[in-house]
Amino acid sequence: MSSDNPMVRFDNVQKSYDGKTLVVKNLDVDIAKGEFLTMLGPSGSGKTTSLLMLAGFEPATHGEIYLNGKPINNVPPNKRGIGMVFQNYALFPHMTVAENLAFPLKVRKMSPTDVQQKVDRALAMVELPSFGQRRPAQLSGGQQQRVAVARALVFEPELILMDEPLGALDKQLREQMQYEIKHIHENLGVTVVYVTHDQSEALTMSDRIAVFEDGVIQQLSSPSTLYEKPNNSFVAQFIGENNRLNGNITAIDGTVCTVELDSGDKVTADKVVDGGIGTRTTLSIRPERVDLDPEAGSVPVTISGKIEELIYLGDHIRVRMSVAGTDEFIVKVRNSASGQSLETGQLTTVGWNPEDCRALDEIAA
């Protein structure tokens, strides 16, 4: 989403802490006004450093960051007008909730009437209207995080940065807060740049996701494109669950290639990897895109396999199989009332459509 007037632009930004190793390499990305962009990646991939440079807490070693078309590399953090939410809430323990929210407004020398109005509105926005006189220690983790979000919103910034804001919450509360933050974003139309290492969180909340690895954005796409059409093996592995099969390309027909797997099986797949016949490749296919024991002729690609393990997960059964030399091939079978009878040790076949299987760069088996 390169925009003519992006709210945020990273222009060839680099960051090194020691003058030798780049933790962020040649970062070029535009973030549109009103967009929810998530920076996703493992620890040390450069996502948090990129956020801290945008916030002004870390200087860029090279390149320029723009906010609304203006360079901000030399603008101090408190003059950038950006809201911030951190994992550890960063609330002042000696202040009430209302005083915590009023703090950024008083710093901006707003009138007491305006301060009161904005604090009340921010508390209502995060559904804590009657909590103003409590102190942070009297709140649950989820309530504290809502106050932290309210404090980032209270001075009505156009841009909010969130660094692993839900990391300290339990699973159920975390999922609830994901929806709440998403709804606040939709209702206010603010621009959000969000950092997480949690792929399901990124998929749930974002308009676009930038997947970081080794200081480089590996892919920047919508959640559905990232999941369904990963550009490379790292993205395929990092986003969602993924079956991998290694082999050599033996024929190419337009965008489809034939791959002879290391097991000797031959299959067809969508050719994403560069290179001609003889190129090593890793096939990537999602467990829910695989049919177990497909009817003859119903799918173009079939391979024989053996059921190694069945795990009942309520709405579906997770079937671990030996297929083409790997015993970690996963198929998700919908749990239907009629239910097909599956047994450990059963010999069967798996099948899929070639467009659901992507031939990517090889990674070690």
pLDDT in tens, 253-283: 999 999 999 999 999 999 999 999 999 999 9
How many angstroms separate the first and last alpha carbons of the chain?
Answer: 35
Q: What is the CATH number of the domain that holds 44?
A: 3.40.50.300
Q: How many domains does the chain have?
A: 2
Q: Based on the fold, state whether residues 270 and 214 are members of the same structural domain.
A: no
> Which residues are bridge partners to 261 per DSSP?
247
Which of 211, 233, 255 finishes a domain? 233
Name the strands in the sheet holding 291-292, side by side, starting at the edge strand that comes first in the sequence.
291-292, 347-352, 301-312, 316-323, 326-334
Q: Based on the fold, state whether residues 188 and 283 are members of the same structural domain.
A: no
Q: Is residue 121 part of a domain?
A: yes
Q: Based on the fold, state whether residues 278 and 344 are members of the same structural domain.
A: yes
Alpha carbon distance 237, 335 (integer Å)? 25
Q: What is the CATH number of the domain that holds 338?
A: 2.40.50.140
Q: Based on the fold, state whether residues 129 and 199 are members of the same structural domain.
A: yes
26: left (phi over 0), alpha (psi -120 to 50) or beta: left
How much is the mean pLDDT over the chain? 91
Q: Based on the fold, state whether residues 214 and 260 are members of the same structural domain.
A: no
Which of 210, 233, 256 finishes a domain? 233
pLDDT band, residue 168 (cuts 50/70/90)? confident
What is the average pLDDT across 239-248? 94
Q: Based on the fold, state whether residues 215 and 277 are members of the same structural domain.
A: no
Phi and psi for 19 in degrees, rounded to 5? 85, -5
Domain, as residue range, for 350: 241-360
Q: Based on the fold, state whether residues 133 and 248 are members of the same structural domain.
A: no
Q: Based on the fold, state whether residues 227 and 253 are members of the same structural domain.
A: no
Q: Based on the fold, state whether residues 249 and 221 are members of the same structural domain.
A: no
Which of 233, 267, 293 finishes a domain? 233
Q: Based on the fold, state whether residues 248 and 343 are members of the same structural domain.
A: yes
DSSP-H helix ranges across 9-153: 47-55, 97-107, 112-125, 141-153
Q: Is residue 2 part of a domain?
A: no
Q: Is residue 290 part of a domain?
A: yes
Q: Is residue 365 part of a domain?
A: no
Alpha carbon distance 346, 339 (integer Å)? 16
Q: Is residue 205 part of a domain?
A: yes
pLDDT at 72 over 90: yes
Structure confidence by residue, pLDDT tens digits, 193-206: 999 999 999 999 99
Q: Based on the fold, state whether residues 71 and 210 are members of the same structural domain.
A: yes
Q: Is residue 1 part of a domain?
A: no
Structure tokens at 256: 């489809």
Return the number of other C-beta atoms located less than 10 Å from residue 206's C-beta: 24
Q: Based on the fold, state whether residues 55 and 28 are members of the same structural domain.
A: yes
Structure tokens at 264: 């000797």
Structure confidence by residue, pLDDT tens digits, 101-149: 999 888 888 899 999 999 998 898 888 999 999 999 999 888 888 898 8
Q: Is residue 202 part of a domain?
A: yes
